[in-house]
Amino acid sequence: MEDNLLIWKLNHGSADALCRIYEKYRDDLVRIAAGLLNNMSVAEDVVQEVFLTLVRSAGRCEIRKNLKGYLTTCVANKIHDLNSKKSAQNPVSLDDIEPAASDSQEPDQRVACDEEFENVYKAIAQLPYEQKEVVVLHLQGRMKFREIAELQGTSIKTTISRYGYGLDKLRSMLSSEVER
C-alpha cells in the first residue's frame, strides 16, 4: 500500500515521495543492473534512466503490480535495449559485447563490491546473458519465474532450465575458486 501512495504522491509532484522511492529501491536496482552488466558506471546510468523515465511519467504513472517489480523490469528492459542497440551496431552475441570479468576492465567500470563478493560478480559475468538474467532477477530482484519468462519471451520451463544451468555453472566456478 505504501508504494501505491508514494506513486500517487509522485504523480502530484511530491519530491519527498520521489526521495523515498529512490532511497528505498535505488541501491537494489543498481546491484541488479551491476549483476547484469558487470559494469558499475553503466549500471548506475541505466538505473538513473529508469528513474528519469519514472519522474517524466509522473502525473500519469499507473503501476498495477508492485513498484519494485516494476522498476526491476524496467531496468532489465533497459539493459535489453542497450544490448540490442550494441548488437545492431556490432553483430555479435550478447555475451561477446559484455565487458569480460577480468582485471583488464577499467577500475571505475568494475562492479564495486566488498572482497567477499568480488568472485560472485566475476562468476556471474561469465554466464550467458539469458542465464545470468534469470539468476540475477530471481535471486537479487526477487522476481518470479513467470515474470522473468514474460520478460524473456519464453516459457516458464525454459526460464527455470536457464536458472538451473546458470546456478550449476556458478556453483562450478565458485567452488573451483575456493578450491584454488
Partner 1 sequence: MRLADEIKRLVRDAKVIIDPVVKRDALKELIDELEKSETNRSAETTPSVWRIIMKSRTIKLAAVAVIMIAVLLGLPFLPKSMTSPTLADVLAKVEQAKAYIYKMNVKVTGPVMRGWPMGQDMTGTVTISKDFGMKTEMEMIDPNTEESMSQEDYIIPDEKLLVMLMHEKKQFTRTELNDDLVARMKKQNNDPLELIRGMLDVKYTELAKSEIDGIEVDGFETTDPTISSGTTGDVKVTLWVDSESWLPVLVEMDMSINEQTRSRITFYDYQWDVPVEKSDFVPVIPDDYEAIFEDMEWPEMTEEAAIEGLKLVADLMGRYPKQATIVELMAEISPIMFKRIKKDHPGEMTETELETKMMEAIQPVYPIGLFYMTLVEDKKEPVYYGQTVSPDEVKAVLLRWKTSDDQYRVIFGDLSTMDVTTEQLAELEN
Distance separating alpha carbons of residues 137 and 168, to the nearest angstrom: 16
28, 32, 113, 111: which is closest to 78 by C-alpha? 32
Distance separating alpha carbons of residues 133 and 162, to the nearest angstrom: 9
Q: How many CB atoms within 10 Å of residue 149?
A: 19
Select 122 or 152, whichever has its Cβ closest to partner 1. 122
Select 11 or 158, whichever has its Cβ closest to partner 1. 11
| Smallest gap from residue 175 Cβ to partner 1 (A) | 5
Alpha helix ranges (H) inside 38-155: 40-56, 67-89, 94-97, 115-126, 129-139, 145-152
Question: Binding residues for partner 1, per CB under 8 A?
Answer: 1-2, 5-6, 8-15, 18-19, 22, 26-27, 30-31, 34-35, 40, 43-44, 48, 51-52, 55-56, 58-60, 111-114, 117, 120-121, 124, 135-136, 139-140, 167, 170-172, 174-175, 178
Select 29 or 153, whichever has its Cβ closest to partner 1. 29
Select 14 or 105, whichever has its Cβ closest to partner 1. 14
